[in-house]
Amino acid sequence: PDGVQLQLIAAALEAYHQSTRQWTTPNTAVFLDWCSFYQRPRVGDEEAMFKKALQHTNIWYANAKTKVWCLTTVAEGVREYDMRGWPRFEKAVSQLVHDQGDAISIANVSKEQTWVDIERMGKM
């Protein structure tokens, strides 16, 4: 509600783009599963659409050409990231096919960090 996670994503994207600008024009797609899938309570056609979308989630997590950034911090009152089934599954699948630096946590990102700092601190 207060944009904390969005600020983490924005800071990580800015650092990533700064690190790649010397050899390429930044071109990034961002997939946020929580925002992209219907959440409970689902009504009407939402359940069918949720299940269909879920079938194709592996395109993002299990594709070696993507980078997976996990938001491992949670809001107050929410069960910890590693104690929830879906985040653990996402993390496990992404770590199967990605090099160590391509699946990281962006929980502690700040605007002052370089991409090298973020990768180092975000190793999962």
Report the number of distinct structural domains present in the chain: 1
**Rounded Cα distance, 22 and 17, in Å:** 9
Q: How big is the CA angle at 54 (ends 8 and 78), to the nearest 5 degrees?
A: 45
Span 87-102, pLDDT tens digits: 888 888 888 888 877 8
Tokens 């962006």, residue located: 106
Write down the pLDDT at residue 39. 93
Confidence check: pLDDT of 26 > 90: no
**Rounded Cα distance, 113 and 108, in Å:** 10
Nearest to 11 by CA among 93, 83, 73, 63: 73
Query: What is the residue range of 68's domain?
Result: 4-121
**Rounded Cα distance, 118 and 85, in Å:** 25
Cα dihedral angle (37, 96, 29, 109), rounded to 10 degrees? 100
Write down the pLDDT at residue 110. 93
Beta carbons of 11 and 111 less than 8 angstroms apart: yes
Confidence check: pLDDT of 1 > 70: no
DSSP 104: E
Tokens 């990231």, residue located: 81
pLDDT (average), residues 69-93:
88
User: With bands split at pLDDT 50, 70 and 90, how would you rate the model's confidence at 65?
Assistant: confident
